[in-house]
Structure 1
Amino acid sequence: MKPLFILLLSTAWMLCGAQFYYQALMDYLENRLLAIEDHMHLWRDQSRQYRMALQNLHKQSKKTMEGLKQAHSTLSTDVEAAAVQLDRVERDMDFVETRTSPRACANRADRVVEQGVWSQEESRGEEEEGWQELPSRVTDCVEIISAIRSVKILKRVGYSKGVWIRDPRSSKVYVFNGTAGDTIYQFESVRVFGHSSGVALGRPIRLPSDRRGSGIAVYNGYLYYIQQGEDMYVVRYDLLGGELMDVTILPAESRAAVYSLNPETVADLAVDDQGLWLLYASSETEPNINLAKMDPVSLDIEQIWDTRCPRENSEAAFVVCGIVYVVYNTRLASRSRVQCMFDVNDKVLSEEAPLFYFPRRYGAHASLKYNPEEKQLYSWDDGYQILYRLTTKRKLQL
């Protein structure tokens, strides 16, 4: 009996211990579940708070964006109004200049200006009655350009880039549409070109080779242009006889553009009272524009100068009385301005160097060609053919 009692007692003790163990385990699990439930409630409350904060931020951002849009719209309106006012002021300034500029070398052509033939409105080929071809009046080259006197927008024809130019020794006008090709168009006068629909009234002239860029000049019945091949050449072509007269190689080591804003033009040609000029960049690393004086018959290089005028942001240049005027702009076309000049004779004082702006028109000049007989620039601006009449003054130092 005694062993059986002991067995029963030990079994009861084991059952009691197991019950206590399972009860403790259940209590532990229950506590853990309650803790997890508390954490879930906490996370739910925090999620609700975050969601409300995000909703408030979204509403505030939306309100701020609406305010910014309204401010942007107001600012755009103000900028447009300011641009209109600025354009109006520029037009008024141009008009005042036509009335108050000095009457340097006044003649019948100046009286035509006063009668309103030269204006700032687009005529698109419809010129007023009384147009007269300007007579020859070569000066002794003792003058310096000081400002734009008046503007005439003749018409719009062709591509955004091109060249139109008049022979200083005749009334004939030559039009080069685009930046490359072997055909030019000859017109009997500016008036004929102005009344022509496109180039319909022009006589096409086929060149012996392709030209490229705005490196073109016409002088005394001869056409000078830049030919590009394995090497680069200056070509002299007889416009009257239709004959290739001479060719000379460019004094440049590379095909670097002379004007950074017109990369098609590796070299430019200009004519003034003193003859034929070549503007170019000697190499890719050369920061400045170089100038060379050329013999218009033999095409020999007579002398070379470093103008110290940077190529960067330059769009065109022209030469007047041995003075190079370099015109600058920005990548996003703005108002063109003469910002650098160089006198080959060192007769211009630094304090008289002009810094003047061209009236704002359409874009940037693809070409600017000076006519020494008329004292005006033939410009190609975004497909528009524009004439700039210049104001001059005598140099301070001779």
Structure 2
Amino acid sequence: MKPVFVLLVSTAWTLTGAQYYYQGLMDYLENRLLAIEDRMQLWHEQSHRYHTEMLDFKKLTAEAMDGLKNEHSMMFKDLEGAAARVDRVEREMDYVETQTSPRACVNKADKVVEQGAWGLQESRGGEEEEEDWEELRSRVSDCVEIISGIRSVKILKRVGSPKGMWTRDPRSSKVYVFNGTSGDSIYQFNSVRDFSSSPGVTSSRHIRPPSEWSGPGSAVYNGYLYYIQQEADTDVQVVKYDLLSGLPRCVTDVAMFPMESHAAVYSLNPETVADLAADDEGLWLLYASSDSEPNINLAKMDPDTLDIEQIWDTRCPRENAEAAFVVCGTVYVVYNTRMPSRSRIQCLFDVNDMVISEEAPLIYFPRRYGAHASLKYNPEERQLYGWDDGYQIIYRLSMKKKLLV
């Protein structure tokens, strides 16, 4: 009996220990589950808070965006109103300009030209013609002036290609139009008024020079046409052509161009390999000697023989330059941007060293259409003839004495 009792006691003890073990395990698992539930509850509360904050942030962002849209709409309306007012002012200015003469300085000779009764004959043999011309030239023999600003603008008309050139010979009232960036024809009008009233260029006199002109860099000076001739695999040349002789092949002289490669003088107008300019002191040539040359070079030319008398480095960069002109021996380089904005005179160079840096003006052209393809100065009128996106424009200039005079 004793062994059986011992076995029963041992079995009861084992069952009691197992029961305590499983009970402790169940308590542990229950505690862990409760802790997990607490954590899940905390995560749920935090997620709900984050979601609420996100909704509030989204609402604030939407309100801010609506406010920005309203401000943008108001600003856009203000800009539209300002643009309409500017356009109205420009139309009023254009109307005022059409009612007045395009000349900056009106004198007896100018009035004769404006009335279409210019007394100079087309031949060079007349003694009266030479006397009148010498009288005109005597007014600008001592040129000591610099541009101080643009007095007014006159949009004459729109005819031809986006790029081109037009100018007037100071010796006569005739106007010459170069349509495009190259060609074999030049259009001649008797006066600015005739050109303004013409329906196009078909009604004009066609002049065919002996060779094709290249680029809007030609010049008309003392009855002669000076233009750039450029053909493939040939050197660039300056050609002098007699406009008054009436002969189709009357070339008086040809000069080779002093450049190593066909580099554009203005980066914004790659068609202009060289630019010829005329002012009170004679004939000038603006060019770049090579593609690696960063600055614009200036050469003084003999208008009779086309000999180069002197060469200067203007220190005016070619980059972002669109055009240039010469007044009283001072080069004015006009700059713009790749996306056309307001043209501005930003660099000057005086061959006589009579213009100091403090005197050089930063002149902005009135905002019009695009960028200038060419700007030609007329010393007798003190005006610029500009070609802007197919529009022919006249700029009246204000002048002042150079400080070092």
User: The TM-score by the shorter chain falls in which range?
Assistant: 0.7 to 0.9
- 270 and 226 in structure 1: CA distance in 2 versus 1, 3 angstrom threshold: farther
Aligned with 1:301 (options 295, 308, 314): 308
Which of 275, 292, 295 is the aligned partner of 1:288? Answer: 295
Name the SS of the counterpart of 1:28 in structure 2.
Answer: helix
The residue aligned with 2:26 is: 26
Distance 2:117 2:153 in 1: 16
Aligned to 1:222: 225
Q: Which residue of 2 aligns with 1:157?
A: 159
Residue 379 of structure 1: CA displacement? 0.4
Q: Is the CA contact 2:238–2:257 (under 8 Å) kept in the aligned structure 1?
A: no
Deviates more, 1:325-334 or 1:30-39: 325-334
Residue 368 of structure 1 is matched in structure 2 by 375
Partner of 1:48: 48
* CA deviation string 1:220-257 (max 9, x = no partner): 23241252644651331536434366554432344544
Return the offset for 1:386: 0.6
CA–CA distance in structure 1, aligned partners of residues 355 and 168 of structure 2: 28
Task: Letter of the 1:315 partner, please give it.
Answer: E
What is the deviation of 1:368?
A: 0.3
Match of 2:236, SS?
strand
2:53 counterpart letter in structure 1: A
Contact 2:161 2:389 (8 Å CA) reproduced: yes
1:383 and 2:385 are equivalent in the alignment: no
Q: Distance in 1 between matches of 2:230 and 2:316?
A: 25
Match of 2:365 in 1: 358
Q: Structure 1 CA distance, aligned partners of 2:254 and 2:2?
A: 139
Counterpart Cα distance in 2 of 1:112 and 1:236: 28
* Correspondence for 1:201 among 185, 203, 206: 203
Distance in 2, Cα, partners of 1:203 & 1:14 = 130
One-letter amino acid matched to 2:247 = G
Distance verdict in 2 for CA 1:33–1:242, change over 3 Å: farther
User: Counterpart in 2 of 1:186?
Assistant: 187
- Seen in structure 2, the aligned counterparts of structure 1 residues 134 and 255 have a Cα distance that, compared at 3 Å, is farther
Answering whether residue 242 of structure 2 is matched by residue 235 of structure 1, we say no
| Residues 1:323 and 2:324 are matched in the alignment | no
- Cα deviations by residue, 1:132-160 (Å, 9 ceiling, x for unpaired): 76975333142423333443211112333
1:45 and 1:285 map into 2 onto residues whose CA distance is: 71
Cα deviations by residue, 1:307-362 (Å, 9 ceiling, x for unpaired): 23333443221112322222234455444333333222334466654444433322
In 2: Cα distance, 1:278 partner to 1:38 partner: 90
How many Å separate the matches in 2 of 1:103 and 1:209?
35
CA distance in 1, matches of 2:45, 2:319: 64
Distance 1:184 1:103, change over 3 A: closer
In structure 1, distance between residues paired with 2:50 and 2:67: 25
The equivalent of 1:125 in structure 2 is: none
SS of 2:230's partner is: strand
Deviations 1:147-200 (A, max 9, x none): 33443211112333221223344444333333x332444132333332333433
Q: Distance in 1 between matches of 2:311 and 2:19?
A: 113
With over 3 angstroms needed to count, the CA separation of the structure-2 counterparts of 1:89 and 1:350, relative to structure 1, is: farther
**TM-score normalised over the length of structure 2:** 0.77
TM-score by length of 1: 0.78
Provide the residue aligned with 2:130 in structure 1. Answer: none
Extract unaligned runs of 5+ from structure 2: 121-132
Gaps of 5+ in 1: 114-129
Q: How many percent of aligned residue pairs carry the same amino acid?
A: 61
Q: Which moved more, 1:159-168 or 1:223-232?
A: 223-232
Query: What is the number of residues matched between the two proteins?
Result: 378
Alignment check: 8 A CA contact 1:187 1:203 kept: yes
Q: Secondary structure at the match of 1:319?
A: strand
Q: Is residue 211–residue 228 contact of structure 1 (8 Å, CA) maintained in 2?
A: no
Distance 1:275 1:310 in 2: 24
